[in-house]
Each structure stands twice: as C-alpha cells, then as structure tokens.
Structure 1
Amino acid sequence: MTHIDPSNGLRRVRPALRKAGLALALTSACGATGAAQAQDGVTWLDTIAVIGTRTETSVQDNPASVTVLDRQEMERKTPESVAEMLRDVPGVEVVDSSAPGMKRISIRGESSRRVTILVDGQEITDHSDYGTPVLIDPSNVERIEVVRGPASVLHGAKAIGGVVNIITKRGADKPVEVETGGTYYSGTAGWQGWAAVSGTVGNFDYRFSGSLDDHGDRRVPDGRYTSTGRLDGTAFGNDNISAHLGYTFGEAGNHYIAVKAMQHRLWSESWTDPATLVPPIVDFRIDLPKRDLRKVGLHYEGSDISDIVRKVRLDGYYQEVDRLFTNEVAIRPNPMLPVIQLTRTVSEDANTNWGGTAQVDLQFHPDHYTIVGLHYLDDSLAASKATAPVPAPPIVPAPVTDDASIRTISAFAQNEWSFADDFKLTAGARYYHTRTDLAHTSDPDRQDYAGRSDGRFVTSLGLVYTGIGNTTLRALYSEGYITPTLFQLFSDSIARERVIFGNPALKPETSRNAEIGARYDAGGLIVDATAFYSEAQDYITRATCASVGTCPGRYLTRPRFIYDNANTARTYGLELAVEYTLPGTTLTPYVTGTWMRRELTFDTVSTYHSNTPALSGRFGLRWEGELAGRNVWSDLYVRAATMVSEQEEGGPLRRLPGWATLNLAFGGAFGEDEKYRFSVAFNNILDKEYRSSFDEVPGIGRSVEATVRMKF
C-alpha cells in the first residue's frame, strides 16, 4: 500500500501570520479597563446544554465535546447564515460545495453528510451527496448546541461527525414585544432584514417572525480566481417565515406544549473553479433556483411528574423539501473545430419525512439518572432526472423517476451513575432497525429490488472526574452509524460529462471514537482541551465501473462511476479553546483552534491528502466596557489555517496554500433597557486571497458588515 504525506503547510501561512500578529500586538497595547466581562462570574463553561447527554448538564461537566452559542454571542456576530456562526468552533468547518447559499457543517473532517442537523431536537434530512444545508433564519435562533464527534447513541443515524441542534426562540416576557433589524454586507452588495412580534399572555406565549435577504456575486481579491474582483455564480437569496405558539399548564406550571411552524425558501447560483475545466469541457454551470422547506412540529415537556419520573418529553413533526437543480455542460469534441455541444440535466425531487421521539427521564436512586426513549422516522424521496442536448431534439428522452423510502425505528437508553467521590459514569446504547423500499422506478435494472432490512447496535461510555479544584477531567468512547442516502442507493447523478450510478447493495457506514479532555475555570483563565481518535469503516465513495465490475448498461458514451463501500478513514487531533481575562482589566486574549490529521484509505492507496488543514483556528483580543455611559465591546482577531491538499484514488494531487486574515469587530447597546444594538465587522482587512478548502468557494476580500437591532 502506498502512503502519501502532505508537505508542511506552516511555511505558507507564516508571512501572513507575522503581519496580522504585529497588528494585533499594536492594538493590544491600546486596551483599557472597563466593566466586568461576565455578570455574576458566569462563564461559557457554566452554560447548561442538553445535547451532550439529553439531560441538563453544564458544559464543564459534560462527558462529550460540547460547544454552546447563546443569544448574546450570536447577536454580536453579523453572518448571513447560521452555519457561519459556527465557523470558529474547534473541529468545525463551514463548507458550501460551490453554492454559497447552501452552507453546510463539517465536523472533525467528516463530510457534511455525516453530521446530524436538528431544529428544536427534530432532524432535517437531505439526501444529496453533499449533506444537509443549515437553512434557518439566524434572527430566530435562541441558541446553538454542538456535539463534536460520534453521537449516534443519543441523536440518531448520520451523527458520525457530530450533531448541531438549533434551538429557536419562544415568546417574550411581556405581552407584546417587537423586534426588527437589518444587516448590510459590502462583500456581496447584499442585505438582510427581519422582524418579529412575540409575547406572553397568561399561560400562552407566541412568536411570529419573518426575514428576507439577497446577495450578489461576492467580491474577492484579483488573482487566481478572478480578474474582475467579482466571483461569477455566487449570488443567492432566502426568505423565511416562522410561528410559535406555546401553553404552560398544570398546578405547578410544570407542563408545556408548543406548536412550531416554518417555511424557508432559497435560490442559489453555483461557482465553478476554472482549474477544473479540463478538455473537452469548456464550461460547466449549476443553478439551484428552488429549495423550499416547510415544517410543522409539536413539542411537549413535563417535569417533576413524580419522585421517580423526573421528565417526559414528546415531539412529532412533518416536513417537506422541494428542490430543483440544473446543470449544463459545454464540450468541444474536436479542439481544432469551434463546434460546442451543450447538454442540460434537470433534477427535481421532493423529500418528505415525518416522525417523532418519546423520552422519559427516571431517577430510581439518588446516584442514578436514567433516560429511555423511542424514535421513529419515515423518510421518502420522489426524484425525477432528465438529460437532453441543447437545443432539445424532436424527441426528448423520458426522465428517469424513482420513489424510495427509508423507515427507521430505534430505542435508546442511558444511565448516569454518580459513584465514589467526584466520579460520574455515563453509559448508553441504541438499537436501530431500518427498512429500505423502492416503491417505483423507471430503471429496469432496479425494478426487481425487493427491499432490505438492517439492524444495528451502537454504544457509548463516558467518565467524568471533578475531584481537582476548578477542573474537570473526562474520557469518552462513542460509536457512529449512518445509512446510505436514497440518492446513493437508487439515483443516477449526472455531473459534468460523467454519470454516477446508485448502488442498492451499499452497506451502512460506521465509526468508533475515543477522546480525553480537560476543562479548567478559575482566576480569569478558562481552558477546554480535547484529544480525539476516530476510525471509520465502509465509507461510501465513487468508484469506476471498471474497478467494481457491475454497472447498468446505459450512458455508455460517458465516464461511468458507481457508489461503493471502498473507503476507511482514520482521524486524530487536538481541539483547544482558551481565554484569560487580564487581572484588573476586561481585556481578554483568547485562542480557539484545531490540530488534525486525517488519513483516507482506498483499495490501492492510503493518503493524508484529505482536504483537511493540519492547523486551523482563531486568536484575538476582546475588550468590554463603557464609553459615554454605553456598554460597548471590541474584538480584534486573526483567522488562519495551514495548507490543504486533496487526492482521490487515481486522481491528481491538488493543493491550496495556507492563509490568514486580520479582522476587527465592535458593537454596543444604548437606549432604555438597551433597546438599540449595533455591531460592525471589518473582515479580511489586508484583502488576502484565500480558499479554506476544495469544498468552499474562495473567501470574500476586504469588506464591511453592519447590523442594527431594535426591540420595543
């Protein structure tokens, strides 16, 4: 087996880091004292999270790698998407797969398809090969909880990389509260506006909100990717409406039921890297004119039901996703002739899913806290694909249609055992049973598919020790599990000049993860450090029909591929978040970052060229205080990463250089009850050309983002 190791990328990022570091040092020298950074000594390690254990546990004492973004932190950011809010979380990368309007999350090197996206604890599914885009109105988000690493025991299939739970806002404390705001983005000549009305009347609470945004082609520095300063094919827009109705009842007010509904509509263009246009291809364009999401969810929670039954949680939901996708390929068959052949592929599909979860929290003994639950998901996809030359011939080929579904039922249990002094052992297990069916297909090669059932058992085990002052030590073993998508099983994908066939014989992907960590909080110093190791098996990848030996007998004139369980992956690394408030000041230097190595193994080659930077992160200096009687803050920081390289089996080696950007953000609040808030971000101040990975569009150049929020 051949081993390929990338060269050291640090030498490519050092010059930019030196310049950015100098600017940071100069600004640090100008800091001043101010008001206390956090009220009542509360830090982000004290934040309560549910996602790590499905019980209320602080980040400090959580056995899993958990990050929480609260409302205050999110309101200081000015991103156009929820995904961008997570860019600086250790181990997390934001990818868009060439479509800037369709941002997705990658965790610890795992593709976005291997990350579970939840909204209020309910899964958003997407059967594309790229994963689930995070398409939620940022102004309607109360908090975001992230688990880094496999979490399939508690949060269902797909959670090999991790889980992102987006918790939306409820009603306000007073009868009527109106919020409105807007953001301007110079890097896309874009804007975003939103408004909401919310409140609580008696036992009822409510919230109704809407948002709209529109972005043009992004501005990037002249260089490798453009000579005009604008990146063609990077415009996008969204609109969103949502509603929440809740009711509190019971003699002790310990029961709560809510209905949530939302609609999100998106259109997005797609950028093509000119370097990938290899003859005979002379042009390739993708358009995503429609991706509409509609969802209705029902939630119930009862607490302190009895001395044994501590909580009961029930939820159910129904959602639909309608998508339209087109791509056009221009080919010059003979380089000596100007004749160009244009082919257009139109894909239209509807993804419908419904299901729910029931969970009961039990406490039979003061030292044990147990949860048990059931989960059901019915996930179906109706897809239609048609390919034809342009202009269309007199007889247009009939589209290929498929109607398939995956039904999953699973049972899970977890026990938290507080034993000895300062020790807690958390053990969990989940059993999955899936049933895959193909109700209809126009493909004669799959019409005899009789369906398939699969069972799988996954476990997790965590240990936490809190016997050292202000310190938590932890260790965790967890397993991940993901079924193939319906596209990978049954659908033919035509991209550029090649075709990728679905494979009904695909097996589920699995992974095993081990990690150790330490958290410390005292004297103004906060540390959260994690070391992790993960092995994944039966990875689904694209293999040539010649290497696999079995492909349908069509599209014989195109390069032909088929999905196959051919890959394994080994990933290890360190994640770190540190901040220290200088004594007697509110100046806080901080750093968040990841060192990671990821090795992919194919049939004939093993490589570290896996499109993953060895080092990535952010370091900076925050200040909070008062100016002219107003609460204000500032944040000067550098984002940076070392080079990335990528090599698929049999493909060429590609590299992207390391990069660093210098950024400054500031903001504040004023007015009665701080009803007016603003924030301004100066991004990529040195106007550096960069591209984070091959899964992301080149970064925006020097730009300004300005946000104003009002609450009445």
Structure 2
Amino acid sequence: MQHHSKLVVGTRRTAIAIAIGNILLAPVMAAGVSEFEEVLVQASRDNSTAAQSKRSTAVVTRQQLDEQQPASVAEALKYQPNIEVGGGTRASNQQPVIRGLSGQRVLQLTDGARQNFNAGHRGTYQIDPELLEQIDVIKGPASSLWGSGAIGGVVAQTTRDGRDMLKPEQTLGGYVKQDFNTAADKTKTSGAVYGVLNEQLDLLVSGYYSDQNDIRLGNEQSLSDSSERDNGGMVKLGWQLDDSQRVTLSHRRSESVGSVPGNPATNVSTSSPLIERQSTDSSTIVGYQFNPESELVDLDVSLFRNKTEIEEYRVLASQQDSTDYRTLGLNLVNRSALDWGKLTYGVDGFQDKSQGLRSGSHRPVPADGRTQVMGGFLQADVPLADAWTLMPGLRYDHFETEANNISDSQRSDDEWSTSLALSWQASDWLQLIARYDEAFRAPTSEELYTTGTHFVIGGPLVNRFIANPDLRPEKAENKELIARARFSGLLASEDSLQVNASLFENKVTDFIEQQVIMDFRNMVFETRNQNVQNARLQGGELSIDYRWQDLDLGVSYGRTIAKDEDTGRALEGIPADKWVASVGYWLWDRQLKLGAKATYADSVTSDTAQYDDYSLLDVGAHWVGRGGMDGLELGLTVDNLTDRYYRRAFSELYEAGRNVKLSALYRF
C-alpha cells in the first residue's frame, strides 16, 4: 500500500506543519509564561501533570466528554493529533489508533487496572464514557512504566468519584440524565447517587441503559446489523482511615447485546456471517493509598480482577459459541522526593486465563491458555542544573505462558525495557525534550495457541489454524523530540498561548501477523501467526491553543508514515493525515458555551483501494443553569453537520451521517 506517493513529500509536509509553530512563536518571544489549566496524567505513574510530563500526552476531561457526548472511548479521542478511531462504525468495536498502532499494541487501563481482553473480532473497550471522569493517553512506547503491550502507547481511563462530584458543604448528591441521538435513534438513560456516609466513608452508585437502531449513513442508507442495547453500572466505596490513608473498593459491570457480523468492522458476508452476540464485562478493584508527611512515601497499591464473557449464536449455522477471559493483577508504586531528585518505582504483575467453546465441525479451537507476567520498574527525575533535567527509567519483566490443550507448550522469557529523557528549559517560555524509549509486547494466548479449522475451502479441503508457541515478543525502539512553548499577555492582557510539537521515529521489530497459506501444489492449507515484519513508523504532531477571556481557539495536525524495513513498502492500516481546527466561546458569564470543530483528513491510496479525503464540521452548545435553574444542564452536539458520506482510511464501513445529540441532566 502507498500511504502517499512519496515518503519525502510526507516528511516535508510534517516539517512544514511543525514549522508553523516556530513562525507563530517568533513575534512573541518576549511575552510572559502562560499557565493553562493542568490535570494529572494518570498513565505517567509519577503524578505529573500534562505540562510536567516529559512524554507526548493527550487528555480529555469530564467537561470535554459532556460537550462531545461520545459513544466510545475512541470517539472521545478523535480530535487529538495522531489518534484515530479504528474498528469501524459500530461503537462497541471501536478502539483508538495511536501513531499507526492499535489493538493489543496499545495498553488499556481503567483506574490503573490492565484491560487485557483479546479475542479476534470482538470489542476490547468495554467501558461507557458516562462512567469516566478523564481519559489520558501516552503516545509512543511506554513499557519502562507498564511492561508488555505499550509499544504504541497507553490509554488510561479514570472512573468518576463521588467525593469530587459533591458540591461544597454537600453530603448527599446525585444526577439523572437523558440522552438522544438521531443517527441511530439512540436513547440513553443514566444517573448516579453519591455522598459521604460519615467522616470516613463515601459511596458512589451509578448506572446507565441505552438502546439504538441501525446507524444512518450520509447517503440516507443504514448500516445493517448495527443496532444494540447496552447497560452497566459501577459501585465505588471509599474509606478514609486517617489523613494519610485511604482504601477504595469498586466494582464495575457492563453488558452489550446485538446482532453483528462475525467481524463487526465489516458487512455481513459468507466470510463474516451474522452473529447474535452478548458481551458481559466486569471488574473489581481494591485500592490502598498511603501518603504521610514523609517525603519518602507516596504509595498506591491495587489488586484487580477482570472477567469478560461473550456468548454468541451463529444464526445460519445454528451454532452456539462462548469465550471466557479472566485477568488477576497487582500494582504497587511509590514516589519518593529526595535531596537530589525524585524516584518513582514499584512492582506489578498479572495473570491472564482464556478459554472458549466452538460448537459444530470445522471450527477454530480457542486458546485454552494461561499467561503470567511479573515486573519491576524504576524511574528517576534528576535535575542536572537550573535548566536541565535527566529522567532515566528501567524495567524488568518475566513472563510465562502455556496451553492446557497443547503438550510441551510451556515457555518463559525475560525482557528489559529502558527509557531516557533529557529536558532543557531553554527559557521561561520554551522547553525542549529529547527521549528514547523501548517497549515490548508478549504474544497473546490466541496468537500462540489457537488451533482447529479456520475456514472450509471446498469438499474435504479445509484451512487449519496451526499453533505457534515459539512466537517472539514484538519490540519497539522510539526516538522523539518534543517542544513546548507557553506565553501570556501576547495579544491582550490575560490571554495565553500554548504550542506543543513533536517528531518521532518508532522502529518495531518482529511484528506478529496472521498468515494464510494456500499452497495447492504441495497441498498445504494453514493459518498461523508469525513474526514476519520489521516496521518503521515516523511522524509528527503540532497543536496550538489560544485563550483570551471567554474565547478558546485551537488547531492541530498529526501525521504518521510507516514502511516495512525489509521490503521498503508502505504499511497498510496507517491513518490519514489529519487537521483539526476548533473554536469555543462562553456567553452569559460562562453559563453557555458554543463551539465548533472542523476536521480535514487527507486522501490515502493503497494497492487495492482509494480512500478519499473528507472534511467534517461538528458544532455544539452546553448550558449550565443557575439561580432558580441551578442543577440543570442541557447539551446539543451535531456531528457531521453537512451529512458527509465518508469512510476513514482502511475502513470497509462508511461512517454515520448527520448526528444530532441532545442531553438533559439534572443534578441534585
């Protein structure tokens, strides 16, 4: 596939886009430093804010979720540079694509607990955005912090907390919310009750239910088999033992029911038959925080258990299937402030168990396997001088895996992951960061141990899955340059400008891909996972945000190009170049916010298909009542205002047409 006609052109465009930032900065070098509103990046593990982090990050807050009204986590991130929505149009199958990598190459966390579920053509992001307080992303490899899986990045989802939702002096509160969108005639009812039971105990109980029809596309047709029903909820109990100790217990559960193709990223066909699918996901987390007055102790410990069950009925073949995936895990991280700098260190580990049943003959036999990973990590933050900071990181992981249904399948391996960042505060307004990161991804049980029939060729001939217990881990080496600039008093008093830019090169070796071999001459018909590819992904990001009184302006650009190092050919599946421009304006003493976002995605040409460029316009308004209307909030968002009929690069499915989303919330 040719992502663009020439690699040189792509590199030049990236350089030109990032150079725009330098042009804008030139006239304002004497301006003061600006302080944008900052939030903690939970995925960083060191309690750093977005401004303090030495990595490329993206953050979506609860306010932004309320304004966007996204149907999935991936959709909530779609405006971020170099993050795209993958998995097709059906929300339950969507996942973020970060700098060209997705799926098991992007680590997913919920309240620090790994979400490792993986089974072919089944959605992995099970949590509804209604339950979330924040989503933050680390772009690029981060195994030195999190171990296996983070070769493309980390998506950390933080659930809502009742203490933070209470108003001052309030001991009991809650909300009820009703949503509706027109593209799928979707209705969604949600609500929560939260409060403090006494001086030590606090409680949150929340839930939601949604129902939708097939999704209407921009050509007035509907995407068949895209209707679904979803429900879920969460209970979170907090116990404040004393000023320095807190224990939390949370349990979350979600269920999704609908008829979908065997591969939800496609339409129903002979190779992707209609399936009635019910997915149930649950997670229980016990957490302990200890933060005494000592500078040496800032401790977080969590134990978690995740369980994902999928029941399926293949309509035409009358076959009943089931998938069961379970994860047990532990996280322990401490942060110490020392005379010479800061240390973040800890241990973590998890065990995955997967099994399943496939009824009927000539069917795949799901992995009946176990994978166990234990690791320890250390990251230092060392000031070298007034303007220089060195941040080295080191992690060791040991993983073991075996299949109960395959003899002599047990194997183990060790991996070291390093990182190194050097930060230079060149001036009050400019920070430059150079960093190097390593990462790895251990093969999943499905990749290692799936056996049985893949598909029937004809008559007695079948293509069979062949287990490959000798798969090597995927490995990544990433080099990155980051520039950040912040100003105030630029064009007017009390205004602020923030510019972030980055250039990266991520080399990934031993890519694991599924290969289908159809050798009629030698009568070899098989499917197996192989380490077949070495990839180089290069690109850059630029974002410029300006704020003055009640006005917010922004523009961003992201580009990733990738090729196979062995053949020189461009890799498929890499998202198109994307520009996003945004404007927001507050009215009525910041009671009403109006906003618009314009997105342009460039065209992409592959060896077999042409994906046209497209432009989208999304608009919205969010109103918060005061006085006699206190507690009432109303939202209006219109995605794809011009009803564009389009599809994203490398997607078989076209996206939803004009989608008017309404929400009404009452908070008490």
User: Which bin holds the TM-score, normalised by the shorter protein?
Assistant: 0.7 to 0.9
1:219 is matched with: 216
Kindly provide the CA deviation profile for residues 663-711 of structure 1, in whole angstroms up to 9, marking residues without a partner as x. 2111211134841112111221221111113347311112211111211
Paired residues for 1:268-417 under 5 Å:
268-270=258-260, 284-287=272-275, 289-304=277-292, 306-307=294-295, 309-325=296-312, 346-363=320-337, 365-388=338-361, 400=365, 402-417=367-382
1:229 is matched with: 221
**SS at structure 2 position matched to 1:545:** strand
2:4 is matched with: 6
Distance in 2 of aligned mates of 1:60 and 1:625:
28
Could you tell me which amino acid in structure 2 is paired with residue 643 of structure 1?
A: S
1:618 aligns with 2:591: no
The answer to whether the 8 A contact 1:621-1:637 is kept is yes
Distance in 2 of aligned mates of 1:495 and 1:220:
32
The answer to whether the 8 A contact 2:89-2:655 is kept is no
**SS at structure 2 position matched to 1:160:** coil
Do the aligned partners of residues 601 and 630 (structure 1) sit closer, same or farther apart at CA in structure 2, a change above 3 Å counting? closer
Distance in 1 of aligned mates of 2:654 and 2:262:
11
Q: Could you tell me how far 1:502 is from its partner in structure 2?
A: 3.5
Do the aligned partners of residues 284 and 614 (structure 1) sit closer, same or farther apart at CA in structure 2, a change above 3 Å counting? closer
Distance in 2 of aligned mates of 1:465 and 1:398:
57
Q: 2:526 is matched with which residue: 552, 556, 560?
A: 560
Unaligned runs of 5+ in 2: 10-32, 457-462, 489-495
Q: Could you tell me how far 1:77 is from its partner in structure 2?
A: 1.6
Distance in 2 of aligned mates of 1:219 and 1:420:
59
Q: Give the alignment's TM-score, normalised by structure 2.
A: 0.87
The answer to whether the 8 A contact 1:76-1:667 is kept is yes
Distance in 2 of aligned mates of 1:271 and 1:493:
21
Distance in 1 of aligned mates of 2:270 and 2:346:
54
**SS at structure 1 position matched to 2:344:** strand
Distance in 2 of aligned mates of 1:273 and 1:386:
18
Q: Could you tell me how far 1:304 is from its partner in structure 2?
A: 2.9
Distance in 1 of aligned mates of 2:203 and 2:439:
37
Do the aligned partners of residues 272 and 135 (structure 1) sit closer, same or farther apart at CA in structure 2, a change above 3 Å counting? closer
Distance in 2 of aligned mates of 1:513 and 1:428:
14
Do the aligned partners of residues 210 and 277 (structure 1) sit closer, same or farther apart at CA in structure 2, a change above 3 Å counting? closer
Kindly provide the CA deviation profile for residues 478-519 of structure 1, in whole angstroms up to 9, marking residues without a partner as x. 111101111111114766656544322211101011111111
Could you tell me which amino acid in structure 2 is paired with residue 592 of structure 1?
A: S
The answer to whether the 8 A contact 2:601-2:614 is kept is yes
1:186 aligns with 2:172: no
Distance in 2 of aligned mates of 1:359 and 1:186:
45
2:660 is matched with: 704
Could you tell me which amino acid in structure 2 is paired with residue 669 of structure 1?
A: V
Do the aligned partners of residues 496 and 285 (structure 1) sit closer, same or farther apart at CA in structure 2, a change above 3 Å counting? farther
The answer to whether the 8 A contact 2:368-2:449 is kept is no
1:79 aligns with 2:70: yes
Unaligned runs of 5+ in 1: 12-39, 223-227, 329-341, 389-396, 648-652
Kindly provide the CA deviation profile for residues 60-101 of structure 1, in whole angstroms up to 9, marking residues without a partner as x. 221111122222222212112232111112221112256432
Do the aligned partners of residues 588 and 358 (structure 1) sit closer, same or farther apart at CA in structure 2, a change above 3 Å counting? closer
Could you tell me which amino acid in structure 2 is paired with residue 542 of structure 1?
A: Q
Paired residues for 1:250-649 under 5 Å:
250=242, 253-270=243-260, 284-287=272-275, 289-304=277-292, 306-307=294-295, 309-325=296-312, 346-363=320-337, 365-388=338-361, 400=365, 402-439=367-404, 441=405, 446=406, 448-492=407-451, 500-523=465-488, 524-545=496-517, 560-581=526-547, 586-601=550-565, 605-626=567-588, 631-646=591-606
1:119 aligns with 2:110: yes
Kindly provide the CA deviation profile for residues 123-154 of structure 1, in whole angstroms up to 9, marking residues without a partner as x. 01112246862221322211111101001111
Do the aligned partners of residues 646 and 213 (structure 1) sit closer, same or farther apart at CA in structure 2, a change above 3 Å counting? farther
Do the aligned partners of residues 434 and 97 (structure 1) sit closer, same or farther apart at CA in structure 2, a change above 3 Å counting? farther
Could you tell me which amino acid in structure 1 is paired with residue 255 of structure 2?
A: R
The answer to whether the 8 A contact 2:363-2:452 is kept is no
Q: Could you tell me how far 1:578 is from its partner in structure 2?
A: 0.9
The answer to whether the 8 A contact 1:312-1:361 is kept is yes
The answer to whether the 8 A contact 1:114-1:131 is kept is no
1:43 aligns with 2:36: yes
The answer to whether the 8 A contact 1:181-1:709 is kept is yes
Do the aligned partners of residues 456 and 56 (structure 1) sit closer, same or farther apart at CA in structure 2, a change above 3 Å counting? same
Q: Could you tell me how far 1:570 is from its partner in structure 2?
A: 0.8
Do the aligned partners of residues 87 and 152 (structure 1) sit closer, same or farther apart at CA in structure 2, a change above 3 Å counting? same
My pick for the range that moved more, 354-363 or 255-264, is 354-363
Distance in 1 of aligned mates of 2:385 and 2:403:
53
Distance in 1 of aligned mates of 2:649 and 2:625:
40
1:655 aligns with 2:646: no
Could you tell me which amino acid in structure 1 is paired with residue 231 of structure 2?
A: D
Q: Give the alignment's TM-score, normalised by structure 1.
A: 0.82
Distance in 1 of aligned mates of 2:663 and 2:202:
28
2:15 is matched with: none
Distance in 2 of aligned mates of 1:68 and 1:277:
33
The answer to whether the 8 A contact 2:118-2:124 is kept is no
Do the aligned partners of residues 463 and 326 (structure 1) sit closer, same or farther apart at CA in structure 2, a change above 3 Å counting? farther
Distance in 2 of aligned mates of 1:277 and 1:667:
36
The answer to whether the 8 A contact 1:125-1:132 is kept is no
Distance in 2 of aligned mates of 1:696 and 1:422:
50
The answer to whether the 8 A contact 1:427-1:460 is kept is yes
Could you tell me which amino acid in structure 1 is paired with residue 300 of structure 2?
A: R
Do the aligned partners of residues 703 and 453 (structure 1) sit closer, same or farther apart at CA in structure 2, a change above 3 Å counting? same
Over aligned residues, Cα RMSD in angstroms? 3.0
Paired residues for 1:95-174 under 5 Å:
95-97=86-88, 99-129=90-120, 133-172=124-163, 173=166, 174=170
**SS at structure 2 position matched to 1:310:** coil
Distance in 1 of aligned mates of 2:251 and 2:520:
45
Q: Could you tell me how far 1:466 is from its partner in structure 2?
A: 2.1
**SS at structure 1 position matched to 2:150:** coil
The answer to whether the 8 A contact 1:519-1:528 is kept is yes
